[in-house]
Amino acid sequence: MKREHAARAFVQSAVLRAVRGMQGTRVKAGSRGKRMGRIKTIGGSTLIAWCLATGAVAESGASSGATAPAQSAGPDHAAAERCAGLQAPSHRWPDSTTRITSANWHPADSKVSTQSGPVSLPAHCEVTGILRERTGEDGQPYAIRFHLRLPEAWNQRFFFQGGGGTNGELGDALGPISMGTPNALQRGYAVVSQDSGHDNARNTLPERGGPVAFGFDPQARADYGGASLEPVAQAAKAILAAYYGRGPERSYFVGCSKGGQEGMMFAQRHPEQFDGIVASAPGFSLPRAAVAEAWDIQAFASLIPGTNPSPDKLPATFSREQFARVRKAVLAACDADDGAHDGITANWAACEWSRVEPQLQKEVCSTSPDCLSAEQVNVIGRVYSGAKDSKGRSLYASWPFDGGIGSDGWRVWKIGPAGGPFPGINVAMGAPALAVLFTTPPTVVRADLSEAFRFALQFDFDRDAPKIYATHGPFTHSAWDDVAARSTDLRKFRARGAKMIVPHGVSDPVFSINDTVAWYREVDRLNGGRAADFVRVFPVPGMAHCSGGPATDQFDAFDALVAWVERGTPPDRLIATAGPASPWPGRTRPLCPYPKVARYSGEGSLEDATQFRCE
């Protein structure tokens, strides 16, 4: 269950970070994996209940360190001494400002608390470090912090663990890979994670948007966007060389969402750092996607009765039953395009509004509470057409119609969980990020759901959307320059023989797969139709952001990447399994590299991947 827990944990930790900043809510993991919530202010209880019901996780950030087993044979003293020696002032690191703040040895079978429960770790040296300490232009203390684990039984490989959301958390440096499989550290990889240049514990200011307050400092914004990545990779590799006496033979990066953006940033700006990258659901157009979040908020808020909408009414704009009707309409229009009526829209690229809208109109009625209204149908069309200015020019990509529309993992971003007051991550995290991080100059928005909602409703797509490309005062680079990683120039990445796999949920509610495949098509054009020689996009029909939804969302892209890099075996498919929360637990499907589609052979079980071909 590791991949499912890790992916859920990303969404849940994003929610928790957003609501902690907005309402002072804090969730911790108790002893023996028990969860408990502590509400400091009114308004977070329903969200906490949702997090607990879906397996809410330990507070995001670095672990407090591994705990030795009750009975241990004792550490390898030589390795422990080498570990402690990393703090010696005689070391010269690539960045002269680097300090090793701790270096602790942990014997085999030490335990560490993770988001999916306690995990036994191999013998390893755990290192934390800091570099580029400074005082920002906003008067706040900043630094880039990293967390590194060096296993005794090293496989001579390096694994960089990507971040998520607005970062600011050190990360556990364990290297989660896929559900039900050992993490990277357990496999022998040296693993690093980092906070991207700001610390949520120190830099969260309620009067300036909470966790996004670092956006008022130009360098902190640039570090978040990607400027922190190369110095951390260089520091980690230097520490590996100091500890093991040699550097890594192979280096890999794995991340989803903001982590996917970081993988893209490495491939485009620092292609020499990694041999292979898994960049899942890449947020490489983050500022544009944030504009689209405001567009969606305005569209759904138009369904709230009255002239003064409040954010707690947003989840009620569609009931769970109404979204079931929407999904029914999408499947009626497009499900059979892959040769099977199976609840999966594998041929999602052909599922267009002109086909879906007539089916939605069939669900418009007034005889039942779960009937759709004409206004709701119009809002679905408005959202899926993508954000536009008053002249109809696109500000972000459109969205594909897919069987994952309205799933829990979809609506927690767009409008919030059904039956509660939480208005969704688009409001709680997206709106403050748009105000402070992704437009220039930053706009002061207090860490308050109502104020974030109001900012999104007042966002003007003619006046304000261009601010993602603007510079002002000390911000000599735009947010797009700092954070976007959408370049299609991968010549240096390809020339060094590096490989990239890009899985992406077709029902991702925050980063549109249409944007990802448009990027891929341009990469393919620039490489003479040979992009698949070094980068492959794997759409996951039905999957929401990084995981979840009615989908076969359990798969191992990392092992496929390693096979491609080290054995020259390109992945022509990824075999994926539907998890226990899906409509079809245990179902398997091939995930096909874009533009191929998994098509049914016409005979055999619909639950078996062997009955489907990538064509």
Q: How are beta strands 141-151 and 124-135 bridged, if at all? A: antiparallel
Annotated active-site residue in 13, 113, 116, 257? 257
The DSSP bridge pattern shows strands 117-121 and 110-114 to be antiparallel
DSSP string covering 134-186, please? EE-TTS-EEEEEEEEEEESS--SEEEEEP--TT-----------STTS--TTT
Helix pair angle (449-458, 2-23), 10° resolution: 90
Query: How buried is residue 391: exposed, middle or buried, by Cβ count under 10 Å (0-12/13-18/19+)?
Result: exposed
**Are 437 and 558 contacting, i.e. CB atoms less than 8 angstroms apart?**
no
For residue 18, give every residue at least 6 positions away whose Cβ sits within 8 Å of its Cβ, in sequence order, or none.
165, 210, 211, 425, 428, 429, 432
Number of Cβ atoms within 10 Å of the Cβ of 546: 29
- Give the end-to-end CA distance of the chain in Å, rounded to a whole number: 30
Whole-number Å distance between alpha carbons of 385 and 7: 27
Alpha carbons 207 and 189: distance in angstroms, whole number = 41
Give which of 176, 426, 410 is closest to 297, Cα–Cα: 426
Residue with tokens 């992406």: 504
Angstrom distance (rounded) from CA 421 to CA 45 = 9
Q: Catalytic residue, from 138, 342, 448, 508: name it.
A: 508
Q: Which of 545, 547, 553, 582 is catalytic?
A: 545
Please say if 341 is a catalytic residue. Answer: no
| 196 closest CA partner among 431, 482, 488 | 482
CA angle 549, 193, 102 (to 5 degrees): 145
The two beta strands, 124-135 and 99-106, are antiparallel
CB neighbours (10 Å) of residue 353? 15
Catalytic status, residue 257: yes
Q: Kindly give the residue spans of alpha helices, DSSP state H, lying in 335-477.
A: 353-361, 374-385, 408-414, 425, 431-436, 449-458
Whether the CA torsion 118, 121, 125, 129 is positive or negative: it is: negative
Q: Which of 66, 557, 72, 506 is nearest to 277 (CA)?
A: 557
Coil, helix or strand at residue 20: helix
Query: CA 49 to CA 62: how far, in whole Å?
Result: 24
Tokens of 377: 């149908």
CA neighbor of 557 nearest in space, from 541, 535, 579, 542? 535
Beta-carbon neighbour count of residue 567 at 10 Å? 8
Query: Are the CB atoms for 121 and 131 separated by under 8 Å?
Result: no
Helix axes 286-301, 374-385, angle to 10 degrees: 170
597 touches 614 (CB < 8 A)? yes
Q: Tokens 């992009």 appear where?
A: 531
**Active site amino acids:** 257, 508, 545
